Amino acid sequence: MKICVYCGSSGAAAPVYREAARDLGLAIGRAGHALVFGGFDQGLMGAVAHGTHDAGGEVFGVVPASVDYFKMRSAQVFPCDEEIEVADLAARKAIMEEISDAFIALPGSFGTLDEYYNVLAQGKIRTTCKPIALLNVNGFYDSLALLHRRMVDDGFMGAAELESAHLSADSSDAIRYVEERAAAGGL
């Protein structure tokens, strides 16, 4: 199975987040899965790629050609098993969704949340859905879980939709969840 991991690329994230990203990568590789990610060897992106690679898993990087490398500072592309260059961030998101069987979101910023919610929203309108889990490292997504509960309570979505926004406490739970949901046909 190809598992796409959405996560932050900032090198300023606390070590607990980088350790969790590496642990997730190790778990993906040890489970015999491949990683699909944003391609850069920095922040959580680099940590999850190194973990997967070190555990013997294949690594697929999807890299936008339009990224201003000066703004990304010392960003380098991870030495992937397969590097897929695309035109821009929108194309990267589309290709990552297309080639992946399941998704896990680690902590990140606007881009991570955009990717996460895009998968959930697509799942509402497609007949076949791909599962996604949030890896709640250090309580990062606690407030988001409260917002999701409020969406249900205030009538903006149903309880069944809330189930598709699965919060995982650790890498093992996240992988088990996406494996089980993928086997059952998705979200």
Instruction: List Cβ neighbours of 65 (8 Å cut-off, separation of 6 or more).
Output: 85, 86, 87, 88
Both tokens of 47, joined, read 């940590």
Q: What angle do CA 143, 9, 34 make, to 5 degrees?
A: 95
pLDDT of 140: 97
What is the C-alpha separation between 29 and 130, in angstroms, rounded?
A: 20
pLDDT of 161: 83
- With b for 16 or more beta-carbon neighbours within 10 A and e for fewer, the 105-116 pattern comes to bbbbeebbeebb
Give the fold, CATH level 3, of 2-183. Answer: Rossmann fold (3.40.50)
Instruction: List Cβ neighbours of 152 (8 Å cut-off, separation of 6 or more).
Output: 158, 159, 161, 162
Characterise 30 by phi-psi region: left (phi > 0), alpha (psi -120 to 50), beta (else): alpha
Give the start-to-end residue ranges of the domains of the chain. 2-183
Both tokens of 140, joined, read 């990062």
Sign of the alpha-carbon dihedral angle for 86, 88, 92, 95: negative
pLDDT tens digits along 34-55: 999 999 888 999 999 999 999 9
Distance from chain centroid for Cα 7: 6
Q: What share of the chain in percent tops pLDDT 70?
A: 93
Contact 61, 78 (CB under 8 A): yes
pLDDT of 71: 53
pLDDT tens digits along 69-125: 545 544 577 788 898 999 888 999 999 999 999 999 999 999 999 999 999 888 777
Residues comprising the chain, all counted: 187
Per the confidence metrics, is the pTM higher than 0.75?
A: yes
What is the signed CA dihedral for 135, 139, 144, 147, rounded to 10 degrees? 130
Q: What angle do CA 108, 112, 118 make, to 5 degrees?
A: 155
